[in-house]
Structure 1
Amino acid sequence: MMASVRKERPAAAMLTGQVLCMLGMATYAVLLPVLQKEWQLSNAQSGLIGSGFFLGYISTVTFWSTLTDRMDARRIYLLGCATSCVGLALFGTARGFWLALAAHMIYGVGVSATYMPGLKILSDRYTGPTQSRVFSFYTAFYGLGGAISLASTQWLSDHFGWRAAFASGAAGPLLAMVLVLSWTRAQPPAAAAPHMPGWRDVFPVQAWLGVLRHPRSRLFITGYTVHCLEMFGARAWSVAFIVFAGGAAVGQAASRLPATAGTIAAVLSLCSVGASILGNEVALRVGRERWIRFGMLASSLLGLAMAACAAAPWPVLLLVGLLYQMAVMADSATLTAGLVEASAPGQRGAALGLYSLLGFGGGMLGPACFGLALDATGSGQTVGSWISGFAVLGAGCFIFGLYQFFYSRSGRA
């Protein structure tokens, strides 16, 4: 019994730590309407602050991920927790665009040292079907942390002000540090030699080329890139869209929705958490590539449908919104588990680094592209403007899904 408990401790630590590190993930998205008004930000500036997180993330993610092939990933994870705490605490002191952008970038650097290194911690300790299921829960708990972030930010900002929400988010990574230190043991990579980090760890081009030689690795990396562009763009603007749909869409001064925008976004996100876990189980039965194609096409079309329903009765709007959230998350764990399965053990850190670099590069573009689309089509004051925003987000997934569909029918996949 005790041996079984000890075996599950790393998974429990990483899943709980994932939630704690994500407590600040949605804070800016929830507070975007408030900060946009208080700081007099344009839609483009608002989107750039959201994209700042991803700029910080992609600037260092390959460095951390490649190092996990050469040193204990736990050390990198703990450093990431500390950096995340600093970024969120600094955001809580911001009074305008530039400091907010810098703070969000620092938070992105911190998360880059926790998310993929955390996945590496798990891949070093679990194998086979257990590994795939642990990955699906790890990905789902990313969404769970985001949902809790949405709800807690809304409540804290309503009762104590928006700066308190950032302070609370900053405490999460510190608690994750304590938990991971207590429930995991150091485990350096097998045959790892003493290594001094250098620039080749930031851009391990030879290792990336080795990863990209494998067609299935290319498939999962490309899919993750367009998936993240859509997912993070939608998350960054979800609360602002619900605010619009609650009042302006039907010409009302007060919201017609049954709860605040932050609460609704949190509930929709929370309800979609299981989609990642269930999606991975379905993919194990019907095939990863087939399930990914379905998820990509469904999410891109449902995004347009949700935007078109902005002025529809609120039960219809929320139902379509829930289906959209579920479709976006349905292939998330499948993509990650597929890449880990397709990559060689000695290249797994480099593969995850490239996967995360390109994926979160797409995530960086998502919020900014959405904001630019709104500014170019009526500044988000009409239903058509929001349809344009979601069309930009879903274009990559739609094209990827169609291409893979016809590619598979040709007999080459």
Structure 2
Amino acid sequence: MLPHVVVPSILAAFLIPEWHLTGAEAGLLAGAGAAGYMLTVPFLAALTDRIDARKILIAGSALNALGTLLFGVFASGLWSGVLFNAIVGVGFAGAYMPGLKALTDRLEPGDSSRAVTLYTSSFSLGVGLSFLVSQLVAESWGWRSAFLVTAVGPVLMLLVCLLLPAVEPKPAQGRLLDFAPVFRNKTAMGFVLGYGAHCFELYGSRTWLVAFWTFVVLRHGEASIFAPIVVSVVFSLLAMPASIVGNELALKFGRHRAITTVMLSSAVVALLIGLFADNSPRLLLVLLLVYALTVPADSGALTSGMTMSAGPRYRGATMAMHSTVGFSLSALGAWGIGIALDLAGGPLNPSAWTAAFSVLALGILLGPVALFWSRAKVPQV
């Protein structure tokens, strides 16, 4: 996870001014990683139904490190940055969901819910470290060094893979990219579509968090305001306990009810941040801390719900669909927020941030709609 948010971390302070990027171009650059992920994860995750996911995890980690190094050494503008960030995304497609499949293949069935939630919530711990390391390194030694240093993370993952015991997956039926059984599983698809709404909000907020807090600091100029690096790291680290607690609430009160409540709450908080974008930074900090809890609180419950409702022989394919939908909307979230900022006057305009957080709120509200659809009974004719 160490290279995962290097681009969003350095976007406002380094890449936008150096490469003269508009909001839409910056969103395109940040979303290229999610786009590369989305284009390749259907094949790579589905392949884990046929071969040991550890093998794909090794290849994905190596490519993740390579793309990060290429960005740090050769990126010189928007399109070269898009290309190298997309390569990073392809590598991550071979690491994240195949890593989850490698985990679940080595667990007893009763262990899956909490184990999957711990895995997905550790994603946020990795994001927090990525924010912290990349910003500290970029400020000390330049933004290219941030990529060179964080590329060490996927290399270390290669060593971890060697410690995993080998397993052979159960033989899969049908063609490799046959997702018809996944589409027919309405329960699983409800969680998949809900995850898409979650990813739209999550990646949109993470991509533009540093830029938003930079706007707040510049707008008010108070020395007592926390620096963007502190806010971004805390925002990410709070996600891990929030995701774990969210899954526990789902186990206690019902998965659909808990997820829907979290999503509605998150939409309200996003709207409040947008409405008060030009108000007291202390109020905004409180709202952001609450938002840091609501945004990820549904993640573990959605992913564990997907894995438990997936057919055993099509779990890899279901994970592939889960990630494809999720990261497609991640790329759209990063880009869409950039477009909203441009249309509403740019990232130095308070009304632009009102528009941006309104878009995030609308995106997450699609989640409860998907969950309601997945539970609706088809009338008998």
What TM-score bracket applies, with the shorter chain setting the length?
Answer: over 0.9
Please say which of residues 379-388 and 351-360 is displaced more in the overlay: 379-388
- Identify the residue that residue 76 of structure 1 maps to in structure 2: 56
Q: Is the 8 A contact 1:152 1:165 kept in 2?
A: yes
Please say which of residues 143-152 and 120-129 is displaced more in the overlay: 120-129
Shift of 1:171: 0.8
The counterpart of 2:266, out of the listed 299, 303, 307, is: 299
Superposed, 1:76-225 pairs within 5 Å as: 76-93=56-73, 94-181=75-162, 183-191=163-171, 201=176, 204=177, 207-225=178-196
The 1:115/1:23 distance shift into structure 2, 3 A limit, reads same
Distance in 1 between residues matched to 2:180 and 2:321, nearest whole Å = 10
Q: Is the 8 A contact 1:150 1:263 kept in 2?
A: no
Distance in 1 between residues matched to 2:161 and 2:359, nearest whole Å = 39
Does residue 276 in structure 1 map to residue 243 in structure 2?
A: yes
- Identify the residue that residue 9 of structure 1 maps to in structure 2: none
Distance in 1 between residues matched to 2:10 and 2:315, nearest whole Å = 37
Gaps of 5+ in 2: none
Does residue 30 in structure 1 map to residue 9 in structure 2?
A: yes
Q: Per-residue CA shift, 1:127-163, capped at 9, x if unaligned? A: 3442111111111110000001111112111211111
Which SS does the other structure have where 2:151 is aligned? helix
Gaps of 5+ in 1: 1-21
The 1:91/1:319 distance shift into structure 2, 3 A limit, reads same
The 1:285/1:411 distance shift into structure 2, 3 A limit, reads farther
The counterpart of 1:329, out of the listed 283, 289, 296, is: 296
Q: Is the 8 A contact 1:154 1:263 kept in 2?
A: no
Distance in 1 between residues matched to 2:92 and 2:351, nearest whole Å = 35
Q: Per-residue CA shift, 1:46-103, capped at 9, x if unaligned? A: 1100111011101100111111000010000000000000111111121211111111
**Equivalent position amino acid for 1:241 in 2:** F
The 1:115/1:320 distance shift into structure 2, 3 A limit, reads same
Q: Is the 8 A contact 2:194 2:366 kept in 1?
A: no
Shift of 1:286: 0.5
**Equivalent position amino acid for 2:50 in 1:** R
Distance in 2 between residues matched to 1:23 and 1:264, nearest whole Å = 18
Distance in 2 between residues matched to 1:272 and 1:385, nearest whole Å = 26
The 1:383/1:406 distance shift into structure 2, 3 A limit, reads farther
Distance in 2 between residues matched to 1:124 and 1:399, nearest whole Å = 31
Q: Is the 8 A contact 2:239 2:296 kept in 1?
A: yes
Task: Return the TM-score normalized by structure 2.
Answer: 0.94
Superposed, 1:47-86 pairs within 5 Å as: 47-86=27-66
Q: Is the 8 A contact 2:62 2:91 kept in 1?
A: yes
- Identify the residue that residue 204 of structure 2 maps to in structure 1: 233
- Identify the residue that residue 365 of structure 1 maps to in structure 2: 332
Distance in 1 between residues matched to 2:372 and 2:199, nearest whole Å = 20
The 1:338/1:246 distance shift into structure 2, 3 A limit, reads same
Distance in 2 between residues matched to 1:137 and 1:407, nearest whole Å = 25
**Equivalent position amino acid for 2:101 in 1:** K
The 1:67/1:171 distance shift into structure 2, 3 A limit, reads same
Distance in 2 between residues matched to 1:186 and 1:394, nearest whole Å = 43
Equivalenced residue count is 376
The counterpart of 1:317, out of the listed 284, 291, 297, is: 284
What is the percentage of aligned positions where both structures have the same residue? 35
Distance in 1 between residues matched to 2:367 and 2:9, nearest whole Å = 30
Task: Return the TM-score normalized by structure 1.
Answer: 0.87
Distance in 1 between residues matched to 2:282 and 2:154, nearest whole Å = 36
